[in-house]
Amino acid sequence: MPRTTARTTARAAARLAAVQALYQHEMERTAIPTLLHEFHQHRLGATIEGAEYADAEVDFFDDLVKGATARAADIDVAIAGKLASGWTLERLDKPMKAILRCGTYELLARADVPVGAVISEYVDVAHAFYARREAGFVNGLLDSIAKEVRG
């Protein structure tokens, strides 16, 4: 089992926060600079209602949120192309779309992060929101995208 490092924990926290930020962006249409500021000031590393949020790697968080929104059209095409026949992106609930968009962005744009790490981390994020079946869906879809974009 790989050793957990502070950087690994900070990146995991950044991924979870980025998914939450993309979800909030889709729900409320909050402008990205405002959203980033809110997360920097009030969420990353904060204690909210007794829950302590891990310190996130802020630059990584910013890249995920900005990159996933800037490349949303390409990302959505990649995701839609891997959905089963009869399924559309619109049929997915908003948290699932946020998870898949972050993971797909990372696969497309962050060649410095190994495919296995990306998939594993977003499966972990999926477990925070869903049961086993949905986490398996995240695993399969991101794996399929990875094979296409990373070879």
Burial status of residue 103 (CB atoms within 10 A of its CB: 0-12, 13-18, 19 or more): buried
Quick check: is 73 in a domain?
Answer: yes
Report yes or no on 47 lying in a domain. Answer: yes
With respect to residue 130, please indicate whether it lies within any of the assigned structural domains.
Answer: yes
- Domain assignment present for 137: yes
Q: Quick one: pLDDT at residue 147?
A: 96
Mind listing the pLDDT tens digit for each residue in 103-150? 999 999 999 999 999 999 999 999 988 988 999 999 999 999 999 998
Q: What is the pLDDT of residues 18-74, one digit of tens each?
A: 999 999 999 999 999 999 999 888 777 665 455 555 678 899 999 999 999 999 999
Residue range 65-115, pLDDT digits in tens:
999 999 999 999 999 999 998 899 999 999 999 999 999 999 999 999 999
Residue 114 forms part of a structural domain: yes
Asked if residue 46 belongs to a domain, the reply is yes
Domain interval for residue 126: 6-150
Which CATH number does the domain housing residue 21 bear?
1.10.940.10
CA dihedral 46, 8, 14, 102 (to 10 degrees): -160
Binned at pLDDT 50, 70 and 90, residue 1 comes out as: very low
Is 83 within a domain? yes
Total structural domains within the chain: 1
What pLDDT, on the 0 to 100 scale, is given for residue 50?
54
Chain centre to alpha carbon of residue 14: 9
Q: Is 117 within a domain?
A: yes
